[in-house]
Structures are given as C-alpha cells and as structure tokens.
Chain A
C-alpha cells in the first residue's frame, strides 16, 4: 500500500465537447486537509465528484490507497468496474453536499443508520449506537428523531456530515457545504469541520469561505480553467499570491 491516501494523475473530464478538467495531478497523505478554491466553472466541484465517481472521468487515474476508483485496465483497455464494486469503493470516501441531500422520509438517526445497515451490513442496534455517537459529535443527538423538514439548514448539514463520517471513510469530501446556508448558520457547520480536521480526518474541500480555507487547510489549491493554477500552504498562498489570477481572485473574494 502506498503512503499516499489519494492519488490523482493526469485527470481529464469532459462534458460533451467541453473539457472541464485538463490534466489534474494531486496527491494527499493521511491527515491532509486540502481546500480547492477558484471561481465558478474552474472545475473544483467536478474534481471532487470524480474522486467518488459521481462523475465518470475519461482519462487519467484516481486512486484511493492505491486502488483505482471506477476503472481497471484489462489488456490495455480501460473498463468500468461493475456497479457493486463501485458502490464499495464509494464507501471508502464520505461526501457532504451543498444542498445536504438528507433523505426527507427518514428521521435524523435513520439517515445516519442507512449506510451502516445497508453497506456495512451492521445489526440495527449496533448501527443505532454508532449513529447516536456521531449525532452527538455534531451536536444533534437531541434531535435524532426529527425529520429533515423539521431542522434548520445548519442542523441538516450537521446530520449530513454525521451520516458520511459514521461510515468511517478514509477521506471526507466537502462540496461547498456552507453555500446554501443562511449566514448565521455557517459557523456551526464550519466548527464541526474544523473539529474533525483537528482530530486528523483527511479532507478535500471545495469552499468559497476563504478565511475558513485559510484556517483549516494545510494546503490550498487554486483551480483555474480546469487546471491547477497555483498551490501551496495557505499562509503563503493568501499573503503572497504568485500569479495575477490568484491575487485578483482573492481581491474579489474580499479576503
């Protein structure tokens, strides 16, 4: 097993004629927290979604702990893995979404339990105990029997994070998790993520919160037209941007 947790090599992704990722290389070690920043359309979210194959990719390799996600090479040809295999691989990573995507017909705790019972084949009471533990961690234990429609956006997002983390993923993906939230609800969600980062959770985040990217990450990647424009430790990136594009971007994001 390689020491790299996530390895992306020469990743290309097209939507029809439009090439949105034009050769991305990225490696992450255990415990890394990497933020992807950049203007909309630069490919941040698509890159994130290729990691758990919510988007197929046409060229290159995405590998988690040395295992290529979604495809294998057989006699020089690239073959998509069977659906069951891909489902197993997807559970290696956890994902939190911009619009939470909680299951509206299930209570908070049943949302968290679903993956444990279906994917991890746990007994109900074992899954219940784990779900309770993680709901407690995100401060939602008291509302475990509430349905998503009865929760605020910030609370829903915290449950959604618990749902992903409870699966014990090797890597957490956060896709603009605060973009759909009212401003006063942003901090409660960021606090949860910061907390997880402190505990050594490996994370890849897409965010528009520059201050947060600065505080939480040990590396920031500035995406630009489907390529990595600039990358480095946040202190350096934000203080001394090397490229004109990044300094303009930082100015427009009021950092």
Chain B
C-alpha cells in the first residue's frame, strides 16, 4: 500500500521533485566544472610554481581538504556575508563545493604531472618547444588520461556533497524530498527514491568517465 502511496505522492509533487533534481544537477555540474578549472591551475602551481606561491597554495589545499565540506558550506554562507560579500544560498553553496573540488583536483593534477617521466619534458625541449607548448602538447594530455578515473571519483563525491546545501536552505533533491516527507510521512519510500536518483546521477557520471577513458586510451 505504502508503495502506491509513495508513487502517488511523488507523482503529485513531481514538479517540486524535478526542480530539486535540476538544482542538484546544476549545483554539481557547476561546482565540478569550476572546481576542475581552478584545480588544474592549483595543480600547475603545486608542480611548477615559485616556492613562495607554492607554499600559499599548499596551505590552501591542505586546509580545504582537511575541513569538513559541511563546515565549508556554512562558512561560505555565513562568514562571506559578514565581510560584505552577499551571495545567495545557491551561490555560496556552489562556491564552497568549487573550493572543495579544486583542492582535490589540484592534488590529483599535481600527482599526474609529477608521474610523467622527466624524459618527456627533455624530449619536447630538445625539439625546441617552449614550456607552455610542452605543457599543453606533451604533459597535460598524458596527465589528464592518468587522472581521469580519480577525477570521476571526485566528481561523484561532489554530487553526494551537494546534499549538504540543504542545510543552508537550497532546495536540492534531498531537501525537496524531505519537504514531501514532512507532509506525507512516507520517509522510507521517499528516502529510498532520493537515494536511487543520486545513484543514477553518479552511475551516469561513472559510465561517462569509462566511455571517455576507452575513447582516449593509448593503443599498446
């Protein structure tokens, strides 16, 4: 009986739920995209940056990776407004997740770049490539292939962490479902439904990642 009830409840509130799903997808994609861009820069600095800049960025990544995402979200929402940066809950949440994502991607990119043998850079330099040409043609393509699986993992973590935005009132999937539960008390069924949708989103990301991995695999 509860299953039918739950399905009815979901159907009756489908637009609210779809809004929630759409918000979750927006938050996740934005944070992953911006966090990855920023993360590549962070990784570059960690690998090749001047020692002084490197130390600052090192502290940045260690601090962000050592802080619960939950705390980051609260900090971005409450502290930023105190210092005069007025962000909506959505913006503050995306900002927090972007920082979190960038610290992880930065560390992954650093590892990927440092794993490339020195001979690759030397070979590129010996045919007259400048550092940036070497980076974009030789180092980055190899590093990206290597970090892809770990990066996909980080992306799925961001999707899961997006649920924490409910605490500052962003109506993403989890909060939209919670609002329905508070009216219908179908907690088991609806939480299960929410979990299933999160699984589907991450499943799609992982499948997409595998597909790209196969596409760009180096023949050997």
Query: Do A90 and B142 touch (CB < 8 A)?
Result: no
Task: For the complex formed, measure the closest distance between the CB of A207 and the CB atoms of chain B, giving whole angstroms.
Answer: 18
Q: How far is the CA of A118 from the CA of B134 in the complex (A)?
A: 10
- Whether A97 is near chain B, meaning CB under 8 Å from some CB there, is yes
Q: Within the complex, which residue of B120, B131, B220 is in contact with A101, where a contact is CB–CB below 8 Å?
A: B120
Is the beta-carbon distance between B127 and A105 smaller than 8 angstroms?
no
| Residues of B with C-beta under 8 A to A99 | 117, 119
Tally A residues with Cβ within 8 Å of B. Answer: 31
Contact with B along A60-100 (1 / 0, CB 8 A): 00000000000000000000000110011011011101010
Closest to A93 in B: B126
CB <8 Å contact, B126 and A147 = no
When A and B form their complex, what is the total count of cross-chain residue pairs whose Cβ atoms lie within 8 Å?
83
Mark contacts of B137-153 with chain A using CB atoms, 8 A cut-off: 1 yes-contact digit, 0 otherwise: 11001100100000000
Confirm or deny: B16 has a beta carbon within 8 angstroms of a beta carbon on chain A. no
Q: How far is the CA of A114 from the CA of B138 in the complex (A)?
A: 10
- Checking B123, B125, B128 against A103 with a beta-carbon cut-off of 8 angstroms, the contacting residue is B123
Find out whether the CB atom of B123 lies under 8 angstroms from the CB atom of A97: yes
Given known contacts A104-B142, A104-B218, A150-B220, is B122 in contact with A54 (CB within 8 Å)? Answer: yes
The one of A88, A97, A101, A150 in contact with B128, judged by C-beta atoms closer than 8 angstroms, is: A88
Q: A93-124 interface mask toward B, CB cutoff 8 Å, 1 = contact, 0 = none?
A: 11101010111110000000011001110000
* A216-245, CB < 8 A from B: none
A164 CB contact (under 8 Å) in B119, B125, B126, B142: B126
Number of interface residues of B (CB under 8 A): 22
Q: Which residues from B are CB-within-8-Å of A160?
A: 123
CB-CB nearest in chain A for B131? A83
Q: Is A163 an interface residue (CB 8 A)?
A: yes
Q: How many whole Å from B188's CB to the nearest CB in chain A? A: 49
Min CB–CB distance A105 → chain B (angstroms): 5
Q: Of all chain B residues, which has the CB nearest A116?
A: B127
Q: In the bound complex, do residue A118 and residue B137 qualify as a contact, i.e. CB atoms below 8 Å apart? A: yes
CA distance A97 to B123 in the complex (A): 8
Contact of A54 among B125, B128, B133 (CB under 8 A): B125
* B142 CB contacts on chain A under 8 angstroms: 103-105
Query: Which of chain B's residues have a CB closer than 8 A to the CB of A90?
Result: 125-128
Chain A residues with CB under 8 Å of chain B are 52, 54, 83-84, 87-88, 90-91, 93-95, 97, 99, 101-105, 114-115, 118-120, 146-147, 149-150, 160, 163-164, 167
The 7 closest A-B pairs by CB, nearest first: A91-B128, A149-B220, A115-B127, A119-B128, A101-B123, A101-B119, A95-B126
Extra pairs beyond A90-B125, A164-B126 (11, CB < 8 Å): A84-B130, A87-B125, A90-B127, A91-B128, A95-B123, A103-B138, A114-B137, A114-B138, A115-B128, A119-B133, A164-B127
